Amino acid sequence: MPEAPAVSSDAAVPLNYVALGDSAASGPRIPNQVGAPGCQQSDSNYPHVLAEALQVASFVDVTCGGAVTDNIVSVSQSTSSGEVPPQLDALTPETDLVTVTIGGNDIGLVSTAVQCLTFANTSATNVCKDRLTAGGVDTVAAAVAEKAPQWGAMLDAVAERAPDARILVVGYGTYLPDGGCFPTQPMLPEDADYIQSSITTMNEALRAQADAHGAEFVDTEPLSVGHDVCVAADQRYFEGVVPQNPAAPLHPTAAGMAAIGDAVAAAVRAG
């Protein structure tokens, strides 16, 4: 893949930028909501932060809450405000920069986390981790292994549509600290650790696919340590089960989007 032009923080760069992805990129409930209402897209999401930081020449944001990999590549997505075309349609041979955050919905990450919520303070009444790893089979890890080749194929499809583009896969963050914080967030320690370790497993698979398919991986787990769902509301990069910031449960806050956008901008400039 051709090397992208160097980017300096104090000069506008004529990059044509397209953002792809799911709700971890679109920013549901974060003001101000823009675009197709069903996609729950914020003008403060990390793609917007990145576009502003780089002062790009053009910017198209087709991130959409609920998207799976097929909705990027080939399948129109049904939303509450109508159908939106495959996100790849936004790419052209003139596209210079692409970001993509995808995978969480492919493996049912949020629905799995919701299964682990409990208000009982004993593991005797909650078998979430045990259920998800019954028989020695980690169902989330198995889902990641099954979907990973699709992520690689998606990156190949992006590169085919935008052959000169630099492609950055932006990973998912540190939502939960070690041991969680029951009862502040209603998930027992062993289940909190399982969910966060599953996020790490997905990130590692995304990184491997990026490495194998000519893309780059931006790891957002380190930058969000100490900014998880358990800390004070004004320190959170991700919201908890009952949000204390204008953001969807178990999704990035505006502060989280700003931090992620800044990290991606730094990766682009370092490129």
Task: Kindly report the CATH number assigned to the domain that includes residue 52.
Answer: 3.40.50.1110
Per-residue pLDDT band for 14 (boundaries 50, 70, 90) equals confident
Query: Catalytic pick from 8, 9, 23, 198?
Result: 23
Q: Is the predicted pLDDT of residue 103 greater than 80, yes or no?
A: yes
Q: How close are the terminal C-alpha atoms of the chain, in Å?
A: 13
Indicate the pTM of the whole model: 0.94
Q: Is the predicted pLDDT of residue 2 greater than 80, yes or no?
A: no
Question: Is 251 among the catalytic positions?
Answer: yes
What percent of the chain has a predicted confidence (pLDDT) above 70? 94
Q: Looking at the domain assignment, is residue 123 inside a domain?
A: no
Digit-coded pLDDT (tens) for 20-43 = 999 999 999 999 999 999 999 999
Buried b / exposed e along 227-253 (16+ C-beta atoms within 10 A): bbbbbeeeebbbbbeebebbbbbbbbb
Q: Looking at the domain assignment, is residue 156 inside a domain?
A: yes
Q: Looking at the domain assignment, is residue 121 inside a domain?
A: no
Q: To the nearest whole number, what is the mean pLDDT of the chain?
A: 94
pLDDT of 125: 61
Q: Looking at the domain assignment, is residue 118 inside a domain?
A: no
Dihedral angle over CA of 248, 222, 200, 119, nearest 10: -50
Q: How far apart are CA 114 and CA 116, in angstroms?
A: 5
The average pLDDT across 245-254 equals: 97
Q: Count other Cβ atoms within 10 Å, centred on residue 198.
A: 23
Q: How far apart are CA 48 and CA 54, in angstroms?
A: 10
Digit-coded pLDDT (tens) for 176-209 = 999 999 999 999 999 999 999 999 999 999 999 9
3-state SS assignment for residue 23: helix
Name the residue among 114, 128, 225 with its Cα closest to residue 176: 225
Q: Is the predicted pLDDT of residue 123 greater than 70, yes or no?
A: no
Question: Is 23 among the catalytic positions?
Answer: yes
pLDDT of 271: 84
Residue showing tokens 């790893």: 133
Q: In what order do the strands lie in the sheet with 166-170?
A: 58-61, 16-21, 97-101, 166-170, 216-218
CB 62 within 8 A of CB 106: no
Determine the structural domain holding residue 160 and report its residue range: 16-108+148-177+199-270
pLDDT of 127: 72
Q: Looking at the domain assignment, is residue 140 inside a domain?
A: no
The average pLDDT across 148-174 equals: 98
Using CB atoms within 10 A of its CB, is residue 8 exposed (0-12), middle (13-18) or buried (19+)? Answer: exposed
Residues contacting residue 149 through CB under 8 Å, at least 6 positions apart: 209
Q: Looking at the domain assignment, is residue 170 inside a domain?
A: yes
Q: Give, as one character, the DSSP assignment of residue 252.
A: B
The residue count of the chain comes to 271
Per the structure, the count of domains in the chain is 1
